[in-house]
Amino acid sequence: MRKLFCLFGLFTVTLTAKEPIRTWTNTDGQTIEARFIDEKMDKVRIRRTDGRVFNIPLDTLSEVDQKYVKSLAVDKLRLSTDPKDNVEDIYSKPTGSDARKYGSKPNYFVKSALNLEMIWVEPGTFMMGRLNKQREITLTKGFYLGKYEVTQEQYEKVMGNNPSLYKGGKLPVEMVSWYDAVAFCEALNNKKKKKRGWVYSLPTEAQWEYACRAGTTTLFSWGDTIASSNANYGRNIGRTTNVGSYAPNPWGFFDMHGNVSEFCDDTLTGLHINSEVGIRGWYRGGAWNRGGPSLRAGLGGHDRPPHKSATIGFRVAFQQVKQASEGSLGSSGAK
């Protein structure tokens, strides 16, 4: 039974009894067993049986779950919140076909950037670089990495402007310099409370390629050949496309090949595979205007840090950083 009351002129619905534990499903088919707490500002709070509370964007839930939530809000009244709850801005642990070891932690959502979604990547070893110049790299620490390239609406939300040539909220931001991409990460660090010692940053080249390869050893994450159905490249469309328009790689990352190239940052590691030209301005992944070979996982390029292009964007990493000790490669944990 629910009790209605008016507080400061705003209608609120208070639950006098706990809602039952049910299975919640998101639009990707991931599930979590939890009890409904409330819904406010298009965010749904649920509590798992172990007591952990999750704050989930309403539009990421299945249609059935969205209808269930709306049915609880009589006449679209907002449900009350409990300020004592310790809310985590993360979603459920992947299940089913996505239940890989690299999903050992829930995906993370950055509220200050319109719920920019990040996937946890476990530490591991892989062969980095082009085939004839590969070397074994071990990442000793896990990290979060953006599921998608940063979109224009996310960039504008954080930075207050949209410099892109091809306009569209879900399109990747471009016409940003390497310095602009670093500034975006710093803005997130200044806007959001986070764990001590954890920072938002561009991924290192090693982190980027490790996530791009996603456990594969082929030229691309899907195999050794490329077609227009795999990625946006070779001017087959002639401009950027909405992020997530093509199938993800085995670890759930979208557009690691094509669409826009993505800036990396090795200022703490000094680790470079493809060249020795400086440590700033490196980018990976190929772009919508480049040929198929340039999209290979082991290749990259370099641009002057202040330069801007409609073919280069970025995605964000969230990682634990400590000052590099002598002989180490810093925050990437690569060796």
Specify the CATH number for the domain of residue 210: 3.90.1580.10
- Asked if residue 169 and residue 39 are part of one domain, the reply reads no
Domain total of the chain: 2
Closest CA to 115 of 177, 181, 41, 178: 41
pLDDT at 124: 95
- Asked if residue 106 and residue 23 are part of one domain, the reply reads no
Q: Is 98 helix (H, G, I), strand (E, B) or coil?
A: helix
pLDDT digits (tens, 9 = 90+) for 100-139: 444 578 899 998 899 999 999 999 999 999 888 899 999 9
Query: In the listed set 88, 122, 142, which residue is the last one of a domain according to the structure?
Result: 88
- Asked if residue 199 and residue 108 are part of one domain, the reply reads yes
pLDDT at 18: 56
Q: Is 3 helix (H, G, I), strand (E, B) or coil?
A: strand
- Asked if residue 129 and residue 198 are part of one domain, the reply reads yes
CA dihedral 178, 309, 255, 66 (to 10 degrees): 90
- Asked if residue 245 and residue 220 are part of one domain, the reply reads yes
Query: In the listed set 67, 88, 109, which residue is the last one of a domain according to the structure?
Result: 88
pLDDT at 53: 78
User: Is 94 part of any domain?
Assistant: no
pLDDT at 66: 83
pLDDT at 35: 84
pLDDT at 193: 67
Distance, in Å, from the CA atom of 118 to the CA atom of 88, rounded to the nearest integer, reads 14
Distance, in Å, from the CA atom of 120 to the CA atom of 73, rounded to the nearest integer, reads 34
User: Is 265 part of any domain?
Assistant: yes
Closest CA to 230 of 249, 210, 212: 249
Cβ atoms within 10 Å of 246's Cβ, excluding its own: 19
Q: Is 70 helix (H, G, I), strand (E, B) or coil?
A: helix
Q: Output the domain CATH number for residue 7.
A: 2.30.30.700
User: Is 281 part of any domain?
Assistant: yes
Range of the domain at 27: 2-88
Per-residue HEC secondary structure of 50-66 comes to CCCEEEEEHHHECHHHH
pLDDT at 286: 95
- Asked if residue 222 and residue 81 are part of one domain, the reply reads no
- Asked if residue 218 and residue 69 are part of one domain, the reply reads no
pLDDT at 13: 34
- Asked if residue 117 and residue 74 are part of one domain, the reply reads no
- Asked if residue 129 and residue 56 are part of one domain, the reply reads no
User: Is 231 part of any domain?
Assistant: yes
pLDDT at 330: 33
User: Is 9 part of any domain?
Assistant: yes
Q: List the chain pLDDT tens, one digit each, 335 residues.
A: 333 333 323 333 333 345 688 888 877 677 788 888 877 767 788 887 767 777 788 878 888 888 887 776 533 333 333 333 333 344 444 444 444 444 578 899 998 899 999 999 999 999 999 888 899 999 999 999 999 999 999 999 999 999 999 999 999 999 999 999 999 999 999 986 677 789 999 999 999 999 999 999 999 999 999 999 999 999 999 999 999 999 999 999 999 999 999 999 877 544 444 444 445 678 999 999 999 999 999 998 877 889 999 999 999 999 987 643 323 333 344 44
Query: In the listed set 56, 88, 120, which residue is the last one of a domain according to the structure?
Result: 88
